[in-house]
Structure 1
Amino acid sequence: MAGLALGLGLAMQAHAQSITGGLYGTTAEQGVTVEVTRPATGFAKTIGVNQNGQYSLGQLSPGVYQVKILRDGEVLSTQTVSVVANASSAVPGQNDTAATDLGTVTVSASHWQTVINPIDVSTPELSTIYTADLLADLPVSQNSIYQLARLDSGTAMGERYAQIGGASETENRYYYNEFDTTYDVTGMGAIIFPQVAVASTQLITGSGGLGWTSTTGGISSATLKQGSNEVHGGYSLYYTPPTSSLLRPQGNTVVNPATGRPTLMQSYNRYGHGASHYVWGSGPLIKDRLFAYVMIGANEGNDYTTYNSTGRYTGDSDRREGLINLTWNITDDQSLNVAAYKTRDESLDTTESNQTSEWQPDQTTYGSPANSWLKRDSKLVVANYNWRINDDLRWRVMGGTMRYDYKQTIDTSGVPYITSYDYSTNITNWISAGHEWEPLNYYYEKDGVKSDIVWNMGNHEVTLGGEYYRNNYYYVPQSNSAGYMGYELNGSPGWIWTGTQWQWNTNPNLMWDYTYTGGGAFKSEQRGIYLYDNWQVSENVRLMYGGRWDQMESFNAAGEGFLDLSVFSPRVGLSWDVNGDSSLKVGANVGRYTLPMPSTLAYLVGSTTTYLVNYYTVDGINADGSPINAKPLYGYGYENLTPEMAAVSSRNLENTVQNEFQVYLQKELSRGWSFLGQAAFHDLKRIVDQTCDTDGRIGDYVRANGHASYAGLGGGQGCIEFNPGSSIVLRDYLDGGDALQDIAIPNSYLGFEKAKRRYLKLGAQLSHQRSESEPYYFNLSYTWSHRYGNHDGYTNLLRSTNANPGISGNYQFLENTYGSNGNLSGDQRHNLVATGVYYFDNGFRVGSVLRYASGQPMNCLGHYPGATAGTTLGNAGAAFHYCNGEVVSSNKYETDSLYSVDLSLGYDLHFGANKSQLLSIDVSVTNLTNADAVTNRNRTSTSGFDSTTTTGLRPNVDFNTVTGMQAPRSTNLYVRYSF
């Protein structure tokens, strides 16, 4: 049985991030050769064995291969093995009685499709591989790669994306056919393919190999389906019914009893049906040499109506997509794969403002609608070339390009945006139905190339490679040029801050207007070089060691570079085949990791920006929305502010670094059963973030140290990128004029702690692979983890802000850091996931995903104690770790524990000649019990200063009220036909 672990395949090779796989094995026969064939593509290759009887063959297209041991033309044994991308499958020896007895298990495609964590002694890297067929039988999303992380107990799910390995949602990388499709504007999400086009997906939750683009989060790598000599085709329908009490109930509405007003309103929301159609086909264009896989898709329906306190929002969307994937086997040693994919999404979104009643959609009337039409296009082309130069030398090249375009048109151009809020009724009205922003058009494009060469030198396999990615990003937001303004009516008399002094105001009616422009075309570049050796130290031990150098540069809209960061990352991994038969493996990895800085930072700190807000007192509102007797009160902001790019970042800035440690054990238990136990520790040592001179401390230091005329930070909005805990080396016009000078501001003066994020993980997994005699797949995974420190990472989960890597808000003031140490958001101590599918003889099958996750900590934020309105700290608002004037531990508040039961019932009907046609029908239900755990609460304890005193604080009456809940039950119908 022990040898079966290798025979069942899917083992990872040293070459990661590849659309090809490999195989290897051992024979006790002397004077033999090995013939590897794949009838589906006409592939045939004869290789030799070394003095120890070992053989291997890489750069194989995914599929089923026959491996024959021959002596003088006589076949001594034949084995069948399945190869998947990014993996090396081990061939059972002809003398392995266990493998021979279970030969049908090894051959059975239904078996290897359920081997997600094979025992692979050829590499120290640990990963999970999900095949398309297994995922189709489980109640998981059939349209998104993001949801696969839910199947791993080592992940914590965010709003949409996974927090993997203790990292935030913007630190993951996504690949298709080796090309990094991650949306590097923010680092959140990617251009993705529908799962119907994906053959297999690999998930790495930490300690990835040197061949991967460096990241401090997780890696999801998918390989697209390919054609062969066999002609196949099919149709798939993924249908989601509209809102109903049984199949798709509405979410809850939660009311704050102190105010009688909802803090979460979902019970009025309604969603229409959604239907995704896919037609696909594959086969040979030239037998044995050129193959194609083609897919076209359409998604229709998806209309919605949602509500909040101020309006009603309706819309619908439509999607079209197409894929062609060509595979050219130039020779049996050379292949070229080219995939091209294009999508178009079109939607109409309509906004209507409340006119008569707030939070009561069934009792209100609505104003004139404002319509917005969106067109979103994406396209991707990626090519992969592989050449097996000889038995000891392999070369591969990947090149790709992708682009995402967003185009908006509106029906209210030239119409101002004007709202009013009445304190006496708590009603918000939309006086003029313009949009807040001018129509937005932006694009993001990425080009990338990667190449490496692998040289086998006896017991050493040396890999040398490099990669280059260029990101271009165009974004020019502008507020409504016809006017962006609002009224605040029937307010109480009180003190108001005019920008320079306090003034008692008795006029109950105020008006404000807002102007914003900024943006441009931005660019960033990423380069990487890696070198490593996979050394067979002894018969049972492999050591993988090497290093990786990563460089990233960022440029502003004028083409000026302002970040140039490099990191060298050494890594070492060990694989020990304890018993020498792959029945027990011990693996370990130690290494340093970094990740690219997303392009949005260039926009946030490198734009020429106008930001103006003006307040007026008014006596009323004219019928056309213009003010009656407007008198200027105060204003603030800046106009056409161009940052000095030299002052945007500290001269000693270094890129983010995280050290990762991993040790694990895999053991074959008995027929079809295996065990995995692992421990990991991730330690964030450094991060890129921002501090500002809002409180004047940086300027004060410069003026006190020889530059008395220093005007203040010339960087983006008076802020600078730095490494928390390190000194700042500022380059700016310290003495005025046009001469840039440097000055070092020590951290002993700044007082910031180093950024810390530590993640400890202990996990265990028990798996059963499907066989003919035991027709079920089962996987039980449990993880205990602890995430603690003072920094969430590239997404600030604490403050629930948008993904703005490099600008967390944690260091605007020194006082922001007080109380920041403790359990971090996403610190989910217990996570249990059970997945399984049982296959009945009559064609029925039942699949399920059961998940339990303990609650996550929530912080409390409030105003800084003792600060008064109008002061620097007072104007910062509720941005500090204080509640009721005291520092509050991050684990005082916690979300609910979450459990979910997902269930699918399917039926497979084989019919036609040789049962070659298949009709599959599935009903899939997520959150079967309609559990409604609380996933988020209002974290702000104070709402502002008492206007009658300017010093007292008003408590936030909505503090700790519910703002997020578990998604309600949803049902899907899947119909698939293939031949």
Structure 2
Amino acid sequence: MTINTRSNRQRRKALALAVALCFAAGAQAQTNTAGAVTGRAVAGDTLTISNPATGFSRTITVGGDGSYRFAQLPTGQYQLSRNGGAARSVTVNVGTATGVDFAGDATTLDAVTVVGSGVVNPIDVSSVESATIMTEAQIDRLPVGRDATSVALLAPGTVRGDNRFGNLASFGGASVAENVYYVNGFNVTNIVKGLAFSQIPFEALAEQQVKTGGYGAEFGRSLGGVINMITKRGTNEWKFGGNVYWSPDSLASGLRFAYDPQRDGSYTVEEGGKRDELRYNLYASGPLVKDRLFVFALYQGQKNDEGQIFEGGSGMIKEDSPQGLVKLDWQISDDHSLELTAFRDTLETDTVTYLRTAGDLGLGGGTENGRSYAKTGGENYVLRWNGYITDNLTLSALYGRGEYSRGATDTNSAKCPLVVDARSSAAVGPLGVQGCWIGTGQVADANAGDVRKAWRFDGEWALGDHLIRFGLDREEFSTVDGSVYTGTDYEPETPGGVYWRYSNVIAGQVLPGNGAVVPGGITEVVRLRYFENGGSFVTRNSAWYIEDNWSVTDNFLAYLGIRNESFTNLNSLGGAFIDVKNTWAPRLGFSWDVRGDSSLKVFGNAGRYYIPVYANTNVRLAGSELDYIEYYTFTGIDPATGAPTLGTKIGDRFYTGDGDVPDPKAVVDNELTPMYQDEYILGMQLALSEKWSLGLRGIHRNLKSGMDDVCDGTGAQKWAVANGYTPDEAEAIRDAIGHCFLTNPGNDLSINADLKGDGKLVRVDVPASAMGYPMAKRKYSALEVFVERSWDEKWSMQASYTWARSVGNTEGYVRSDNGQDDAGITTSFDFPGLMDGGYGYLPNDRRHSLKVFGAYKLAEEWTLGASLLVQSGRPYNCFGVYPDSGPNPTAGNYGAESFYCGYYDPETGGGDYASYLKPRGTAGRVGWAHELDLRLGYEPKWAPGLRLSVAVRNALDSKDYYRVQDARDDGTAGAPLSTYLHPRGFVAPRTVTFSVQYDF
């Protein structure tokens, strides 16, 4: 017999490549806390997997079809042996199925040296989803911010969100409020507004998985992405250590803001703000009982001093963040384990504000104004059981409880009302102009906060060519919330404060809200707004799912899943105003291992995704809310508070909220559907060599049902009169909608109205054509290309380019163009006129994104890391007041919220309203943003365990920015604002961070 050695070498190389790539593969068929090892062997083989670090060991017998699976494995390094032979090293990451195939000549396979672990976007023929996995070791080599969002922003398809919402990422065109966050399997997303989540101390992170699309039926409650964090755990070896990260303000270029002292539309970029940050960690891990009970414990301290400069003054901020985490793992037996995670993420912020004196742009200059204190975060506990019932069946159960505080106080909330001077003659800085109010101008309930209680149960059952996964979960989210304007002692009629806004007007102008006409000779007016709301609320979400990963052939995997979700929201009196049951979210996908050696994968998926109705909707729509405005002529300013000395009242008081808790049936559409979208992905991944891979993904997301409130019932009133309702009944229908009504905009409306004035609600179905609202639309299309070289102890690199297009008439749960964080009840659909020109390019339409990051070992002890982001700018708008000559004049009640720009310009006095329409995203685009970060690491051989590094963020000190001021006109009277198109959201200034770490 002739032996073809070349053919054998080729097969051997292909086999090595397949195993190497599988070693970092991410499989959809895994839970959100563990991984698995799978493959093929000879029927009847005995396979043993063990973790020397924890003493874990499990043995199974290969079934008759030759396939095997070790499921529900905690992340870590394992040893895998066949029939008592030599063991092989296997790496298990979160959500991955590491493939090791013993079929054929196992002796030859065991001789193959496997390289190529540590990839970010691996070729995984057992998965149909789009996921990025970053381990602690990978993160430590890069100059990436040490927080979950900064790591997520490395993934293709993610862009930085508007900084007014915090440090958050947008996934696939969705708003930053539509992501879901997990810690060790526990959902830690704060669903009041979706803009916060409980965060572990970053040094406790072992791995972070970022799912950007196509995720399976196990995951829901997200239209954006999934950030899945896994913490470190103890082993049989006691380890201790600590580190310090210090970013001195003396080496920072300074926080930036745009300042216009002349109020003429020009601006100067000032760089006076500073930030000095110190973070330190102490940690220990080891066995409390060898091979059985392990502990990992970490304490994090943080002392930050920041100076912020703004137009009216400056603020000196001190942050204290005592945080910690404890993880206990009890290996009850090789078949059952119990783990407890407890962590605290409290952040306390103390701020002293100063009012600017003329010409003083310095920190802490001028007059001390007051002090504010805020506390966020809280304590979280997660208990999880894992059980291997048989070789083919695993089960898990979880219970979690989390707290999140949102309390804040300040010294000026009683005496100082909120004052904004938007007149062209306004001065900046003196006490008599803007007043002594602090922060946002709103005072939160001192007890504001949230508690989540959740449980879930999951199972996995291998049945021949089918891997069946199933589960169910339920969470209850309790919220205490409420706010009033600052100046609580100022308004004698009510317990809250007021918001004063001074504006220029022209005689004969119709004022937004009360519809009063500005008298002759009046050029300046004062608007008073009073607002208070609050209460205690409960939100309940539940779901069950089942999915099948079906190996149709050895090369082709079909994925079929279904998720069923229910959502219940209660008002402040405990009544259900939203009770949606049995939403169906199918998930379908395939993965084709084209060559049969994991070197070329073609995959695709289609799925439907729902998101809950956030608790902010409970607070704003189903609580007690009193909201009204009044207008006065402007005569002067009280020098003690900045409040006006009032002249003549103009028109009547205008209410948008009467202070009562509405009937649950009167505020929500009877046929309401929670917001959901459909997603389609088609992609391929190709192994170029043992270390290099290339990927391509096409993505399309389509919002199928938006959810928002509508506040204009005039169309319904006209329809009612035309269809036989009496004038009084038609007016009742109008009023039922006019107090703001939650629905799916653009669909038929189903309301409950008090038609006879006797307190009895009657269902009325109003056709969509009568309301005049368009369907909520958001479409995202993208093409992602990425190339990657895996770490081989010398260097690694990933580069990705994303072309994306995001169009529609709603961004989603929040609005980046006007900074509104009212999740689920934005101003977008309040009046039909506000949607004129509303379809266009959305704020997350960042057309081009280039990301390059990697690390290079300069020498045995030195490593250089780098990260480059180049991104095109987002579109901006020209917001103005809706013209009173338009077909929906009541839309002018909302001030500068329409796409009609400049209609009330005092120089023109208005004109043909249609000529002032500037459709969404057509006013221009922000310039490109560039950011280069660098890191130099040093691990001296003469001091084992010691690691030193210096990282430079924004090394080239880019002065680029991510957004501009979109409001061209003043919201009260429509006069031009000098701040229009001023830069906002600058790229973070250059900072230098030194770190020292020692482990022993």
TM-score, shorter chain, exceeding 0.5: yes
Q: Is the alpha carbon distance of 1:344 and 1:724 closer, same or farther for their aligned partners in structure 2, counting shifts above 3 Å?
A: closer
When structure 1 is superposed on structure 2, of 528-537 and 92-101 the one drifting more is 92-101
Say yes or no: does 1:461 pair with 2:488.
no
Provide the rounded CA distance (Å) in 2 between the counterparts of 1:850 and 1:621. 50
Q: Is the 8 A contact 2:43 2:66 kept in 1?
A: yes
CA contact (8 A) 1:861 1:940 kept: yes
Counterpart residue identity of residue 204, structure 1: K
1:682 to 697, 701, 710: 701
Other structure's SS at 1:602 match: helix
CA drift of 1:642 comes to 3.3
Q: Are positions 1:547 and 2:562 aligned together? A: yes
Whether contact under 8 Å (1:867, 1:874) holds in the other structure is: no
Q: How far off is 1:852 after superposition? A: 1.4
The equivalent residue for 2:326 is 324
Alpha-carbon distance change, 966 to 727 in structure 1, aligned in 2, over 3 angstroms = same
How big is the shift at 1:465?
Answer: 0.9
Give the letter for the 2:696 counterpart: G
- SS of 1:880's equivalent in the other structure is coil
Q: Deviations over 1:524-551 (max 9, x none)?
A: 1111110111112112212111211011
Q: 1:932 to 1:738 in 2, by over 3 A?
A: same
Q: What residue identity is the alignment partner of 2:813?
A: Y
Quote the residue 2:598 is aligned against. 582
C-alpha distance in 2 between matches for 1:489 and 1:709 = 38
Question: How far apart in 1 are the matches of 2:352 and 2:449?
Answer: 23
The one-letter amino acid paired with 1:116 is V
| Gap change, CA 1:62 and 1:293, over 3 Å in 2 | same
CA distance in 2, matches of 1:372, 1:944: 28
Cα contact 2:387–2:395 (8 A) shared by 1: yes
Equivalent in the alignment of 2:208? 201
* 8 Å CA contact 1:200, 1:224 repeated in 2: yes
Aligned partner of 1:440 in structure 2 is 445
- In 2: Cα distance, 1:960 partner to 1:621 partner: 29
Q: How does 1:167-182 map to 2 (within 5 A)?
A: 167-182=174-189
Cross-structure match for 2:934: 903
| Equivalent-residue separation in structure 2 for 1:844 and 1:298 (angstroms) | 28
Distance 1:941 1:90 in 2: 58
Give me the CA root mean square deviation: 3.0
Residue 326 of structure 1 aligns to which amino acid in structure 2? L
- Aligned partner of 1:19 in structure 2 is 33
**Which is worse superposed, 732-741 or 1-10?**
1-10
2:399 aligned partner: 399
Cα distance in 1 between the residues matched to 2:628 and 2:679: 45
Q: Distance in 2 between matches of 1:343 and 1:629?
A: 46
Residues 260 and 365 of structure 1: CA distance in aligned 2, closer, same or farther (over 3 Å): farther
SS of equivalent to 1:611: strand
For residues 164 and 488 of structure 1, what CA distance do their matches in structure 2 show? 37
Please tell me the residue identity of whatever aligns with 2:156: S
Q: Is the 8 A contact 1:424 1:490 kept in 2?
A: no
SS in 2 for 1:401: strand
In the alignment, what sits opposite 1:888? 918
**Do structure 1's residue 226 and structure 2's residue 241 form an aligned pair?**
no
Instruction: Report Cα offsets for 1:185-230 as digits up to 9, x if no partner.
Output: 1112311112210110111111111111242111110101010101
- Residue 847 (1) aligns with residue 865 (2): yes
Shift of 1:733: 0.6
Match for residue 784 of structure 2?
Answer: 763
Question: Aligned partners of 1:753, 1:320: CA distance in 2, in Å?
Answer: 49
Q: Equivalent pairs: percent with the same residue?
A: 27
Q: 2:852 matched to which residue of 1?
A: 834
Q: Is the 8 A contact 2:257 2:310 kept in 1?
A: no
Equivalent residue in structure 2 for 1:80, among 86, 89, 94: 89
Correspondence 1:107-146 to 2 at 5 A = 112=117, 114-142=118-146, 144-146=147-149
Alignment pair present for 1:863 and 2:881: yes
What SS class does the counterpart of residue 775 from structure 2 fall into?
Answer: coil
Structure 1: state its 5+ residue gaps. 947-952
CA distance in 2, matches of 1:83, 1:556: 45
Change (3 A) 1:163 1:642: same
Verify: 1:661 aligned to 2:680, yes or no: yes
The residue matched to 1:943 in structure 2 has which SS?
coil
Aligned twin of 1:426: 427
Q: Which letter maps to 2:624?
A: T
TM-score, with length taken from structure 1: 0.91
Q: Distance in 2 between matches of 1:292 and 1:15?
A: 28
- Partners of 2:444 and 2:482 within 8 A in 1: no
Structure 1, residues 270-303: CA drift from partner, whole Å, max 9, x if none? 33x1111100111000010000000001001x22
Q: Does residue 1:527 correspond to 2:542, yes or no?
A: yes
Where do residues 730-879 of structure 1 align in structure 2 (5 Å cutoff)?
Answer: 730-772=751-793, 775-797=794-816, 799-865=817-883, 867=885, 872-879=890-897
The alignment status of 1:962 with 2:983, answered yes or no, reads: yes
Match of 1:186 in 2: 193
In 1, are the aligned partners of 2:43 and 2:63 still within 8 Å (CA)? Answer: no
Distance in 1 of aligned mates of 2:327 and 2:685: 36
- Which shows bigger deviation, 851-860 or 467-476? 851-860
Cα distance change on mapping 1:943 and 1:86 into 2, 3 Å: same
Specify whether residues 887 and 716 from structure 1 end up closer, same or farther in structure 2 by C-alpha distance, changes over 3 A only: closer
More off after superposition, 499-508 vs 478-487 = 499-508
CA distance in 2, matches of 1:334, 1:905: 43
What SS class does the counterpart of residue 127 from structure 1 fall into? Answer: strand
- For residue 288 of structure 2, what is the aligned residue in structure 1? 285
Bigger shift: residues 544-553 or 430-439 = 430-439
Compared CA separation, residues 491 and 838, structure 1 to 2 (3 A): closer
Paired residue for 2:970?
943
5 Å-filtered alignment, 1:613-628, equals: 613-616=629-632
Is the Cα contact below 8 Å between 1:275 and 1:299 reproduced in 2? yes
Counterpart of 1:134, as a letter, is Q
The Cα shift of 1:640 comes to: 2.4
Q: Distance between the aligned counterparts of 2:453 and 2:644, measured in 1? A: 51
User: For the residues of structure 1 that align with 2:294 and 2:215, how far apart are their CA atoms?
Assistant: 32
1:27-69 per-position Cα deviation (integer Å, ceiling 9, x unaligned)? 3x56531111211111122111133432211111221111111
In the alignment, which of 348, 351, 355 is matched to residue 346 of structure 1?
348
Checking the alignment, whether the CA contact within 8 Å between 2:482 and 2:619 is kept in structure 1 is no
Q: CA deviation at 1:90?
A: 1.5
CA contact (8 A) 1:485 1:512 kept: no
Determine if contact 1:132/1:195 at 8 Å carries over to the other structure. no
Which residue does the alignment assign to 1:69? 82
| CA distance in 1: counterparts of 2:744 and 2:188, whole angstroms | 28
CA displacement at 1:173 relative to structure 2: 0.8
The answer to whether the 8 A contact 1:703-1:709 is kept is: no
Deviation larger for 463-472 or 150-159: 150-159
Residues 263 and 424 of structure 2 are in contact (CA less than 8 Å); yes or no, is this contact kept in structure 1?
Answer: no
1 CA distance for matches of 2:808 and 2:640? 54
Task: Decide whether aligned partners of structure 1 residues 829 and 849 sit closer, same or farther in structure 2, where only a CA change above 3 A counts.
Answer: same
Instruction: Say if 2:274 is the partner of 1:267.
Output: no
Could you say if the C-alpha distance between residues 98 and 223 of structure 1 is closer, same or farther in structure 2, counting changes exceeding 3 Å? farther
> Aligned in 2, Cα 1:717/1:99: closer, same or farther, shift over 3 Å?
farther
User: Which one-letter code corresponds to 2:397 in the other structure?
Assistant: V
Question: Which whole-Å CA distance do the structure 2 matches of 1:817 and 1:99 have between them?
Answer: 64
Q: Is the 8 A contact 1:265 1:308 kept in 2?
A: no
Report the CA distance shift for 1:494/1:314 in structure 2 as closer, same or farther (over 3 A): farther
Relative distance call for 1:51 and 1:408 in structure 2 (3 A) is same
- 8 Å Cα contact 1:17-1:212 kept in structure 2: no
SS at match of 1:151: coil
Amino acid at match of 1:743: V
Segments of structure 2 that go 5 or more residues without pairing to the other structure are 1-12, 491-496, 903-914
- 8 Å CA contact 2:128–2:214 kept in 1: the answer is no
Change (3 A) 1:559 1:262: farther
Give SS of 2:272's match: coil
How far the C-alpha of 1:859 sits from its partner, in A, is: 2.3
Shift of 1:429: 4.1
Partner Cα separation in structure 1 for residue 663 and residue 158 of structure 2: 41
Question: Letter of the aligned partner of 1:58 in structure 2?
Answer: A
1:2 alignment counterpart: 14
**Residue 688 of structure 2: SS of its match in structure 1?**
strand
CA contact under 8 A between 1:903 and 1:928: conserved in structure 2?
yes
Residue 383 of structure 1 is matched in structure 2 by 383
Q: Deviations over 1:243-262 (max 9, x none)?
A: x4xx3102455456984566
| Cα shift at 1:751 | 3.0
